[in-house]
């Protein structure tokens, strides 16, 4: 069993400003752990987490894959970037954190280079306006407000993730049942040629959480 990263350096003041790891985070760790052999065998070079928050998930995958991988993290919330950086340090994983929305300034440099993309997005269904204001505020409210059907923020990233993935790349996404999992899977296949599987799912209180893994669908060559 791979240990949960040490978060003892983070305080209640940090969690007033940054998303505190919760059931979704821990399900995400369990999903990565269940894929550990495939992840190692794919010999990744670059891992990118969008919305790294406390840095728990990137530090965890850093413990799995070791120091030969470049770990990039982004978060729209500057305090989350500071927490991710310190959590990496606390767990001896070197995390490069960028305070930005999604991977916007990195897109051209990382085009088809990223082997592992991770995103636990703000997935809670809210009013459109609430998600919009939360994204503008770049504060902790941006950790959960997902707009109509909870997909407003996620959908923006789903439009671009294919451009980041390497040929062997895999993309892990946290989603809620209300986000309409079959529709996400169908759309990603039809529009972006990304096939997917549910790696894990779990009920946690009122939430039914899913971890999806997307990979590029290979062309079948027929003679
Ligand atoms: C549900 S929290 C997940 C945090 C952490 N990855 C975890 O699993 O505990 C969502 C994170 O996404 C960040 N976020 C929201 N919108 C974002 C955006 N447009 N670009 C980058 N990060 C964003 C939030 O600030 C928050 O840290």
Q: If you take atom 6 of ligand 1, which residue's CA is the nearest one?
A: 52
Q: Which atom of ligand 1 is nearest to the CA of 139?
A: 25
Distance from CA of residue 113 to its chain's centroid? 17
Strand, helix or coil for residue 69: coil
Spell out which residues line ligand 1, taking CB within 6 angstroms: 19, 21, 25, 28, 50-54, 56-57, 74-77, 80, 101-102, 120-122, 135, 142-143, 153
What is the pLDDT confidence band of residue 59, given thresholds at 50, 70 and 90? very high
pLDDT for residue 222 is more than 90: no
Residue to probe by mutation, ligand 1, list 15, 143, 152, 209, most atoms within 8 Å of CB: 143
Instruction: Please report, for the chain, the start and end positions of each structural domain, with discontinuous segments joined by +.
Output: 19-216
CATH of domain 19-216: 3.40.50.150
pLDDT computed for residue 43 by the predictor: 96
> pLDDT tens, 65-96?
999 999 999 999 999 999 999 999 999 999 99
Write down the pLDDT at residue 34. 97
- Kindly report the backbone phi and psi dihedral angles of residue 122, in degrees, each rounded to the nearest multiple of 5, phi listed first: -70, 105
CB 40 within 8 A of CB 65: yes
Query: Residue 53 CA: which ligand 1 atom is closest?
Result: 27
């Amino acid at each position: 069993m791979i240990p949960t990263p040490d978060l003892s350096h983070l305080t209640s003041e940090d969690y007033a400003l940054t998303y505190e790891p919760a059931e979704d985070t821990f399900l995400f760790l369990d999903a990565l752990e269940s894929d550990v052999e495939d992840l190692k065998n794919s010999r990744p070079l670059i891992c990118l987490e969008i919305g790294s928050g406390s840095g728990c998930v990137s530090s965890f995958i850093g413990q799995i894959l070791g120091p030969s991988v470049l770990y990039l993290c982004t978060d729209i919330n500057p305090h989350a970037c500071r927490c991710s950086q310190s959590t990496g340090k606390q767990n001896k994983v070197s995390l490069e954190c960028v305070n930005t929305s999604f991977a916007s300034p990195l897109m051209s440099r990382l085009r088809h280079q990223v082997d592992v993309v991770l995103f636990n997005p703000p997935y809670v269904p809210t009013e459109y306006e609430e998600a919009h204001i939360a994204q503008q505020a770049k504060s902790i409210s941006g950790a959960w407000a997902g707009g109509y059907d909870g997909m407003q923020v996620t959908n923006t990233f789903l439009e671009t993730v294919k451009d980041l993935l390497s040929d062997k790349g895999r993309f892990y996404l946290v989603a809620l049942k209300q986000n309409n999992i079959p529709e996400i899977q169908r759309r990603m296949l039809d529009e972006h040629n990304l096939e997917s599987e549910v790696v894990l799912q779990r009920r946690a209180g009122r939430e039914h959480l899913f971890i999806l893994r997307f990979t590029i669908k290979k062309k079948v060559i027929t003679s």
